[in-house]
Amino acid sequence: MKRWSILILLLLPLLYTHAQQGTIASHAMVVSAHPEASEVGKQILMNGGNAVDAAIATQFALAVVFPIAGNIGGGGFMVLRQADGTTQTLDFREKAPLQASRDMYINAEGEVDRLAITGTQLAAGVPGSVAGMWEAHQRYGTVEWSALLEPAVQLASQGFPITERQAEELNDHGDIFRQRNTRNTYLRRYGTWKAGDTLRQKDLALTLKRIQEQGRDGFYAGTTADLIVAEMEAGNGLIGYDDLLQYEAVWRQAITFSFRNYQIISMPPPSSGGVALQQLFGMIDSDYLDGLTHNSVDYIHYLSHAEQHVYADRARWLGDPDFVVVPVAGITDAEYLNERMQQFNPSKATPSLTIQAGVPAPAESTETTHFSIVDSYGNAVSLTTTLNDGFGSKVFVSGAGFLLNNEMDDFSAQPGAANMYGLVGGEANAITPSKRMLSSMTPTIVLRDSSLFMVTGTPGGSRIITSTFQSILNVILFDMTMQESVSAPRFHHQWLPDAVQYERNGLPEGVIKELEMMGYELAPKPPFCRVDAILVLPDGRLEGGADPRGDDAAAGY
């Protein structure tokens, strides 16, 4: 186990028990996975930019300073709530190339070729990050596009000092970078990275400069497009010029629902996050929860039972709504959700093999990254973006300096077969040309009595949904500060595999033993999900909670 993981494991109970209030600001706040990116977003806000402006600048900065997940070669989702109460969501998820086919990863033995779908040019979906930021700017941007790109350009060309955690990550991936890339990637070196070393990425700086000067055409056409297509041809990838030119980010109607006096706004399909959150909140009984203690046996048992049913439905029903009918109204219907919880036994675990997807009424690496922003005008942005696995496919676009995603693994390459996160999918998420793969990303905004209350979200693959769920419950049920909530130990159940995953040292031994006696399999894991969130305090100030599991940082004024 890596040194940083060991340290976090040892400190995890301490971080929660003794957590203080997070960073406090009077006007605006950015919380992201890296201090440099948070500072970039804060400066945009201080200079009069709005939350969308800051989100664009932060996203491009993360593509430079957080290469394990920040990206221009991936995609994601944005949830926006404006000060006037208007909500929007932006889908810039990657898409299957036009030449993709349903069984393209099935080998001669009839099994999924795991290397092809995760570690080659063939693993890449058509990137959406640049198109998403461009579309957001066209509709809501107030600061010049070139000014929003300038910090990222400077960070890439002049370099920045890497953290100890980043040095460790780069050293751990050195061999695989060498195996999968013939040219200099800037992330590999002949020697050992150490904290404080300067990482300069000149090819990436040139790519960002083209995007700065030409907008989306700086990525989807011209020199950058030539470099992407050349990389595809070099490694039997499928993304071509037509894929790049035809890619569009899509505005979608948010998933919105209520729990007590709170209103929750989240991402619709092809994210499974918003639907899953609505199901989870709809399944739990508010009065029953009031009698439970945080992370007690009964609490974990109750939430795990709900989570098993939600992930069973996810596998059966969810996919890209542009290609399949997703019965959102049916699987979030109150009567349906109540029926799903009838199987709950307060003293015994329910085996996942006895749980199937319900029949409703007709109608994600862990190395994603998330950031939350609130501006001085009252606008809020929750944005989650990803390459899928850590450093994506580990394949760089030669000469362009950025990593390709391996998001094709988020499709059901073979319905019934698990992906890298153990998630099982069905026909609704089968590979189809131009289709967007299902995601667990769950950028979310919470209102209380119709006023902005919380902005939250997290990376973490399949555990994103449950960690976002718990980050909200920690505050509204257990009166935690934002920092206490993001620091608190987490647990997760995703139906298959049939186990309660939990952070090592995060649960008392007595709780573990009692859950095992109830019939649960317990699966200890390294620290997972780095929640970055903002809470609006009663006096109107903002509390930024930056997850101590990473280098995450809150920056506000």
Do residues 141 and 56 touch, judged by C-beta distance below 8 A? yes
Do residues 380 and 445 touch, judged by C-beta distance below 8 A? yes
Kind and range of the H or E run holding 78: strand 75-81
Query: How far apart, in whole angstroms, are the C-alpha atoms of residue 141 and residue 118?
Result: 35
Structure tokens at 126: 């058509």
Do residues 426 and 415 touch, judged by C-beta distance below 8 A? yes
Do residues 441 and 77 touch, judged by C-beta distance below 8 A? yes
Cα Dmax for the chain: 64
Kind and range of the H or E run holding 75: strand 75-81
DSSP for 430-476?
Answer: B--TTPBPPB----EEEEETTEEEEEE----GGGHHHHHHHHHHHHH
Residue 190 makes CB contacts below 8 A (sequence gap 6+) with none
Do residues 70 and 218 touch, judged by C-beta distance below 8 A? no
What amino acid occupies position 255? Answer: I
Q: Up-side HSE of residue 394: CA atoms within 13 Å toward CB?
A: 21
| 213: three-class secondary structure by DSSP | helix
Residue 517 makes CB contacts below 8 A (sequence gap 6+) with none
Query: How far apart, in whole angstroms, are the C-alpha atoms of residue 524 and residue 23?
Result: 30
Helix axes 3-17, 164-180, angle to 10 degrees: 140
Supply the residues annotated as catalytic: 368
DSSP lists the bridge partners of residue 532 as 546
Length of the chain: 557
Going 485 to 488 to 494 to 495, the CA torsion angle's sign is negative
> Where does 125-220 have alpha helices with state H?
129-140, 145-158, 164-180, 202-214, 217-220
Cβ atoms within 10 Å, residue 359 = 13
What amino acid occupies position 230? Answer: A
DSSP state, residue 396 = B
Residue 94 backbone dihedrals phi, psi, to 5 degrees: -65, 160
| 382: three-class secondary structure by DSSP | strand
Kind and range of the H or E run holding 349: none
Structure tokens at 11: 């400190």
Give the residue from 188, 189, 226 showing the smallest Cα distance to 207.
Answer: 226
Query: How far apart, in whole angstroms, are the C-alpha atoms of residue 342 and residue 355?
Result: 12
Find how far residue 275's CA is from the centre of its chain.
Answer: 15
